[in-house]
A and B are shown apart, each in its own frame.
Chain A
Amino acid sequence: MTICENNVAKIEIICKEFNYDKGELINVLHKTQTTFGYLPEEVQQIVAQNLNTSLAHVYGVVSFYSFFTMTPKGKFPINICTGTACYVRGAEKVLNEFKTLLKIKVGETTKDDKFSLSNLRCVGACGLAPVVLVGEKVYGRVTLDGVQKILDDYNES
Chain B
Amino acid sequence: MSIKYRKNLLICSGSSCHDASNFDLMDFINVKLKEYGLDDDIQVVQSVCFNKCSIGPNMIVYPDNVEYSTITKSDIDDIIIEHLLNGRIVERLVYNDVNIISGTHKKQYRIALRNCGFIDPEAIEDYIEKDGYDALAKCLTTFTPEEVTQQIIKSGLRGRGGGGFPTGVKWDITSKSVAEQKYVVCNADEGDPGAFMDRSILEGDPHSVIEAMAICGYCIGANKGIVYIRAEYPLAIKRLKIALDQAKEYGLLGSQIFGTDFNFTIDIKYGAGAFVCGEETALIHSMEGLRGEPTLKPPFPSVSGYLKYPTNVNNVETFANIPAIINKGADWFASIGTEKSKGTKVFALAGKINNVGLIEVPMGTTLREVIYDIGGGIVDGKKFKAVQTGGPSGGCLTEKDLDLPIDFDSLTAAGSMMGSGGMIVMDEDDCMVAMAKFYLEFTVEESCGKCVPCRIGNKRLHEMLTKLCDGYGTPEDLDLLRNLSVVVKDTSLCGLGQTSPNPILSTMANFYDEYHAHVVDHKCPSGQCTSFLKYYIDEENCIGCLVCARNCPVNAIFGEKKKLHIINHEICIKCGICMERCKFDAIYIK
Contact = CB atoms under 8 A, between A and B. Distances in A.
Contact of A127 (B54, B274, B286, B424): B54
Contacts of B448: 64
A45 B350 CA distance: 43
A65 B350 contact: no
A67 B514 CA distance: 37
A52 B480 CA distance: 49
Interface residues of A, number: 42
B241 to A, nearest CB: 14
B288 A23 contact: yes
Contact of A88 (B348, B351, B553, B576): B351
A67 B273 CA distance: 5
Interface in A1-56: 21-27, 29-30
Interface in B147-191: 190-191
A84 interface: yes
A42 to B, nearest CB: 20
B352 A88 contact: yes
Contacts of B193: 82-85, 121-122
A78 interface: no
Contacts of A129: 350, 356
B560 interface: no
Contacts of B348: 126
B424 A88 contact: yes
Nearest to A121: B193
B580 A127 contact: no
A54 to B, nearest CB: 12
A123 B15 contact: yes
A68 interface: yes
Contacts of B388: 84
A17 to B, nearest CB: 14
Contacts of A108: none
Contacts of A87: 438
A26 B231 CA distance: 11
A100 interface: yes
A88 B448 CA distance: 26
Interface string A69-95: 000000000000011110111000100
B73 interface: no
B196 A121 contact: no
A97 to B, nearest CB: 7
A93 B580 CA distance: 10
Q: Which of B232, B289, B442 has the most CB of A within 10 A?
A: B289
A125 B232 CA distance: 12
A128 interface: yes
Given A84-B350, A84-B388, A61 B54 contact: no
B300 interface: no
Contacts of B307: 23
A60 B391 CA distance: 28
Nearest to B388: A84
A57 B424 CA distance: 38
Contacts of A85: 193-194, 350-351, 356, 424
Nearest to A65: B272
B20 interface: yes
Q: Which of A27, A30, A85 has the most CB of B within 10 A?
A: A85
A155 interface: no
Contacts of A27: 269-270
A24 B289 contact: yes
A26 B19 contact: no
Contacts of B190: 124
Interface in B312-347: none
Q: Which of A65, A89, A96 has the most CB of B within 10 A?
A: A65
Interface in B282-313: 286-292, 307
Contacts of B292: 64-65
Interface in B225-260: 231-233
6 contacts: A61-B289, A84-B392, A93-B576, A127-B52, A129-B350, A144-B577
Which are the 5 A-B pairs with shortest beta-carbon distances? Answer: A127-B53, A83-B193, A65-B272, A25-B289, A124-B196
